[in-house]
Structure 1
Amino acid sequence: MLNRLYLLINKFTVSSGFLAGLIVVISLSPALALGDKYAGEFLKIGMGVREMSLGGSVVAAAQNASAVYWNPAALAAKPVLSGEFMHTEEFAGVLNLDYVALALPGSADWSYGFGFFRSGVDGIPDTRSALIDENGNGELDPGERLNFGKIGTFGASENALFFAMARPMNARLNIGGTIKTLYKSLGISNAWGVGFDLAAQFQLLPDLFLGAILRDVTTTFLYYPDGDNEFIAPSLQLGAAYSISPVFLPVIFRPSLGLDINLEGETNQSDLNLGFISAGVRLGLEMQVKEHIMLRIGRDNLGSTHVGFGLNTPIGSIDYGLAMGGSYAELGQSHRIGLTLHFAELGRYVKEYL
Structure 2
Amino acid sequence: MMHFSRYAVLSALLFGLSLGQQAKAQSTTPKYSNEFLNIGVGGRALGMGNVQVSLASDATAGYWNPAGLTRQKSKYDAVLMHSELFSGIVKNDYAAFSMPLDEQSVIGASLVRLGVDDIADTRNLVNEYGQIDYGRITYFSIADYAMLLSYARKIGSVEGLSVGANAKIIYRNVGDYANAWGFGIDAGVQYNHAGWQLGLMARDITTTYNAWSINADKFRQTLVPGEAMPKGGPEVTLPRFILGAARLIKLPGEFTALPAVDLEMTTDGQRNTLISSSAVSIDPRAGIEIGYNNLVYLRGGVGNFQKIKSFRSTTQEDWHAQPSLGVGVALSGLRLDLALSRLAVENTGGSASQTNSVIVSLGYGFK
* TM-score of the alignment, normalized to the shorter chain, above 0.5: yes
CA separation of 1:194 and 1:152: change in aligned 2, threshold 3 A: same
| Contact 1:304 1:327 (8 Å CA) reproduced | no
Q: Which residue of 1 aligns with 2:269?
A: 265
Look up the equivalent residue of 1:161 and give its one-letter code. M
Residue 127 to residue 322, structure 1, CA distance change in 2 (3 Å): same
Secondary structure, counterpart of 1:210 in structure 2: strand
Preserved CA contact (<8 Å) 1:245 1:251: yes
Letter in 2 for 1:256: A
Match of 1:99 among 81, 94, 99: 94
Question: Contact 2:172 / 2:180 at 8 angstroms: preserved in 1?
Answer: yes
Matched, 1:16 2:8: yes
Distance 1:236 1:208 in 2: 20
AA paired with 1:46? G
Match of 2:166 among 172, 178, 181: 178
DSSP 3-state at the match of 2:115: strand
Match of 1:28, SS state, is: helix
Contact kept? 1:311, 1:318, Cα under 8 Å:
yes
CA pair 36-154 structure 1, distance change in 2 beyond 3 A: same
Q: Quick one: structure 1 residues 336 and 342, their matched pair in 2 at CA, closer, same or farther if it must change by over 3 Å?
A: same
1:249 aligns with 2:249: no
Structure 1 or 2: more helix by fraction: 1
Q: Aligned ranges for residues 142-221 of structure 1 at < 5 Å?
A: 147-169=133-155, 170-188=158-176, 189-203=178-192, 205-221=193-209
Where do 1:67-106 residues align within 5 Å? 67-77=61-71, 79-80=73-74, 81-106=76-101
TM-score normalized with structure 2 length: 0.82
Partner residue in 1 for 2:357: 334
**Which segments of 5 or more consecutive residues in structure 2 lack a partner in the other structure?**
215-231, 306-320, 347-351
Residues 158-213 of structure 1 show CA distances to partners (whole Å, capped at 9, x for unaligned) of: 0110110011112132110000100011111211001100110112x321111111
Partner of 2:279: 276
Would you say the 8 A contact 1:26–1:235 is kept in 2?
no
Counterpart Cα distance in 2 of 1:108 and 1:225: 44
Report which of the two has the higher share of strand.
2
1:176 match: secondary structure: strand
* Distance in 1 of aligned mates of 2:345 and 2:34: 19
8 Å Cα contact 2:105/2:152 also seen in 1? yes
1:31 to 2:18 alignment: no
CA contact (8 A) 1:260 1:301 kept: no
TM-superposed CA distance for 1:79, in Å, is: 4.2
Alpha-carbon shift at residue 22 of structure 1 (Å): 4.2
Please state how far the C-alpha of 1:71 moved relative to its aligned partner.
0.5
How much identity, in percent, do the aligned residues show? 29
TM-score, normalised by the number of residues in structure 1: 0.85
> What do the CA deviations read for 1:232-282 (whole angstroms, capped 9, x no partner)?
111111100111112x332100000001101222332x0112343111011
Report how far residue 78 of structure 1 moved: 5.1
Offset of residue 36 of structure 1 = 2.3
Describe the shift of the 1:131–1:236 C-alpha distance in structure 2 as closer, same or farther (beyond 3 A).
farther
Counterpart contact for 1:79–1:104, Cα < 8 Å = no
Query: Given the alignment, which residue of 124, 133, 141 partners 1:129?
Result: 124
Secondary structure in 2 matching 1:304: strand
Pairwise CA RMSD of aligned residues? Answer: 2.2
The count of aligned residue pairs is 321
